[in-house]
């Protein structure tokens, strides 16, 4: 520790300095980055000691005052929440700090109960639950502070008014998110006894006209997309492996991000897909996907203890997010000189290719892991050859 900190650490954070340095090293931070974070720890510890504050008093408000002091003093690095996040996260993991989402009001407590219900009882994905919680905060924010009374008196007219107000200022996609989150909240409130009626059915339906059929990429564009990755660099090797997974297995971006090392069964030639909620499925591992992943593991993946398969290229070495996978796809499209696209377009490409090779809708539903065959029926519209056999002859046309 002496090589990172010049002199003894004073203040309430002194007992945590050595462990914090070890964690940064385990996350493969560079020597310079470790020194910078240690300097921040020393400064914060001294600042807390001068004010008679302990670790437990390091609340978001106190952190904001400390960072403002650094900015006022002329510091140009580690002056934002992001710079302080590694230290705060380390202290929170040790149980020294309270969770940032501390309950501060009855409505926030209800949102927290709703969030835990969706995660634990219904097993929904964290991204979905996060959207539901956002909608719940917006809706409950329209209620009075006496929330138990306000919800008891809730009516269908109140629900409709909220939907009309919100949907009038949002995109179609975001409006659908609001509606689905509101329905989930209203069902929860009824089940938990907060409302006298199940008002989920009172949420107006929003028309969604599907303008386009699923748009598959041309084979040439898929080839150019993969060829855009510079496989002489670690990032290029990783991105090529991710794009190969997406273009061959048809997984969602979040599913690719959630891959873990032990999800690939090399002996059985299978890969485990962590789907929506608690769903787990096994798919065959095509040889080219296996080769791309193996090349990434041999030449590109950083050495770290994180169980995720696809890892950030720079410290901290954590797993990629769903948004990061989307960024990799968009970046490859730009390099390949093809129109911008997202990961779901590659999923459509896989399904359409399988359909054109003679697979039926049940097989496509199994490949894409749709819970309902109704979701898969849209791909029937893509098979123009099969549809042409069903077309009636035009009246008066020659036989």
Enumerate the active-site residues. 252, 276, 344, 347, 370, 379
Task: Report cis status (omega within 30 of 0) of the bond before 316.
Answer: yes
CA neighbor of 210 nearest in space, from 389, 381, 397: 381
The number of helix segments (H) and strand segments (E) in the chain equals 18, 3
Two tokens at 60? 């978001």
- On whether the CB atoms of residues 281 and 273 are closer than 8 A, the answer is yes
**Measured between alpha carbons, how far is 39 from 117 in angstroms, rounded to an integer?**
42
- On whether the CB atoms of residues 349 and 216 are closer than 8 A, the answer is yes
Partners of residue 265 on adjacent β-strands: 270
Number of neighbours of residue 91 by Cβ within 10 angstroms: 18
- Gyration radius of the chain's alpha carbons: 26
- On whether the CB atoms of residues 66 and 87 are closer than 8 A, the answer is no
* φ/ψ (deg, to 5) at 314: -140, 160
Burial of 73 (0-12, 13-18, 19+ CB in 10 A): exposed
**Measured between alpha carbons, how far is 93 from 79 in angstroms, rounded to an integer?**
22
């Amino acid at each position: 520790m002496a090589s990172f900190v010049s002199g003894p650490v004073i203040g309430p954070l002194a007992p945590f300095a050595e462990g914090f340095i070890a964690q940064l090293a385990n996350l493969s931070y560079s020597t310079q980055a470790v020194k910078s974070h240690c300097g921040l720890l020393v400064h914060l510890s001294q600042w807390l000691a001068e004010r008679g504050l302990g670790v437990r008093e390091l609340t978001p408000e106190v952190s904001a005052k400390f960072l403002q002091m650094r900015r006022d003093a002329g510091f140009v690095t580690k002056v934002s929440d992001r710079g302080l996040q590694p230290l705060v996260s380390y202290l929170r993991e040790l149980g020294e700090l309270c969770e940032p989402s501390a309950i501060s009001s009855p409505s926030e407590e209800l949102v927290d109960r709703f969030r835990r219900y969706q995660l634990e009882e219904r097993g929904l994905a964290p991204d979905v639950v996060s959207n539901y919680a956002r909608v719940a905060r917006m809706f409950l924010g329209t209620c009075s502070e006496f929330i138990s009374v306000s919800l008891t008196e809730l009516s269908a007219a109140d629900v409709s008014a909220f939907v009309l107000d919100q949907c009038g200022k949002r995109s179609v996609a975001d409006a659908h998110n609001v509606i689905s989150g509101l329905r989930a909240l209203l069902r929860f409130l009824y089940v938990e006894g907060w409302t006298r009626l199940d008002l989920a059915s009172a949420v107006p339906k929003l028309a969604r006209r599907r303008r386009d059929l699923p748009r598959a990429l041309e084979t040439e564009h898929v080839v150019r997309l993969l060829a855009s990755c510079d496989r002489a660099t670690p990032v290029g090797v990783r991105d090529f492996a991710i794009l190969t997974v997406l273009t061959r297995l048809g997984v969602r971006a979040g599913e690719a991000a959630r891959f873990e090392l032990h999800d690939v069964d090399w002996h059985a030639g299978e890969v485990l897909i962590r789907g929506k909620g608690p769903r787990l499925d096994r798919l065959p591992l095509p040889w080219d996907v296996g080769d791309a992943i193996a090349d990434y593991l041999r030449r590109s993946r950083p050495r770290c203890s994180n169980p995720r398969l696809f890892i950030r290229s720079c410290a901290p070495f954590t797993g990629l997010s769903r948004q990061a996978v989307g960024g990799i796809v968009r970046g490859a499209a730009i390099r390949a000189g093809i129109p911008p696209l997202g990961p779901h377009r590659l999923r459509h490409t896989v399904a359409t290719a399988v359909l054109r090779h003679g697979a039926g809708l049940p097989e496509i539903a199994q490949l894409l892991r749709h819970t309902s065959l109704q979701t898969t029926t849209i791909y029937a519209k893509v098979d123009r050859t099969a549809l042409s056999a069903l077309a009636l002859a035009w009246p008066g046309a020659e036989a």
